[in-house]
């Protein structure tokens, strides 16, 4: 299985991290660029650290593992991030594209869109198709309990609806809709149509994974 897009987003993210440095903000609340890089390393190199994401009492362990990576020197840390381990269940050649395309895309955007002069990227058509396919899975997890029915519209790709209640239509490129559906609403360039109260509630919602 090719891993062109997952690895490409990874390398672009690493290049941007080298450019901006370790102490810049990201769209991840409270995380600097160093924290974000450490999270990605812990995620794929320390599978035990992921337990804290599922079992709340063990969240402290996950934080300690991440902080351990964050204490490394910046350039060696980025060197590690650019070369994912072949043995990791998340980054081996059989799983990388499936597991990491969205992860790397979103975290790349977390760094890009925290910069004051960011602009949307022109993504390859095939990558947009992949992001659109993954969007339905993501919204099933993040939007299923919202008190609105959200119809996601990506011109040239189709429509996908989730939820119940007053209808809101979100229109944008697949990448922009994915940014929105992942809980980064303020950073997504989408057009929203529907009752003003419902649109506001959707933009302010905290999406639950």
pLDDT tens-digit map of 162-201: 999 999 999 999 999 999 999 999 999 999 999 999 999 9
193: left (phi over 0), alpha (psi -120 to 50) or beta: beta
* Percent of the chain surpassing pLDDT 70: 92
pLDDT at residue 26 greater than cutoff 60: yes
DSSP letter for 145, please. Answer: T
What is the C-alpha separation between 158 and 160, in angstroms, rounded?
Answer: 7
Band of the pLDDT at 57, cuts 50, 70, 90? low
Within 31-122, where are the H helices? 33-45, 51-54, 59-70, 74-82, 96-112
pLDDT tens-digit map of 97-133: 999 999 999 999 999 999 999 999 999 999 999 999 9
What is the C-alpha separation between 88 and 78, in angstroms, rounded?
Answer: 17
Which of 206, 74, 93, 52 has the alpha carbon at shortest distance from 143? 206
If one counts every other C-beta atom within 10 angstroms of the C-beta of residue 72, the result is 16
Phi, psi of 144 (to 5 degrees): -65, -25
DSSP letter for 185, please. Answer: G
Instruction: Find out whether 100 and 93 touch, Cβ atoms under 8 Å.
Output: no
Domains of the chain: 4-112 (no CATH), 125-204 (3.30.1050)
């Amino acid at each position: 299985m090719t891993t062109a897009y997952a690895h490409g987003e990874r390398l672009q993210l690493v290049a941007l991290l080298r450019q901006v440095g370790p102490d810049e903000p990201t769209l991840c609340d409270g995380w600097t660029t160093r924290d974000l890089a450490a999270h990605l390393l812990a995620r794929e190199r320390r599978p035990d650290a992921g337990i804290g994401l599922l079992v709340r009492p063990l969240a402290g362990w996950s934080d300690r593992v991440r902080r351990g990576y964050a204490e490394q020197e910046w350039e060696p840390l980025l060197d590690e991030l650019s070369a994912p381990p072949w043995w990791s269940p998340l980054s081996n050649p059989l799983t990388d594209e499936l597991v990491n395309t969205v992860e790397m895309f979103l975290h790349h955007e977390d760094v890009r869109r925290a910069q004051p002069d960011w602009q949307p990227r022109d993504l390859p058509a095939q990558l947009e198709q992949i992001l659109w396919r993954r969007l339905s899975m993501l919204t099933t997890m993040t939007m299923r309990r919202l008190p609105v029915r959200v119809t996601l519209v990506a011109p040239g790709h189709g429509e996908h609806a989730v939820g119940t209640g007053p209808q809101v239509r979100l229109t944008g490129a697949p990448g922009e809709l994915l940014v929105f559906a992942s809980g980064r609403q303020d950073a997504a360039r989408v057009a929203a149509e529907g009752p003003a109260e419902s649109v506001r509630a959707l933009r302010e919602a905290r999406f639950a994974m």
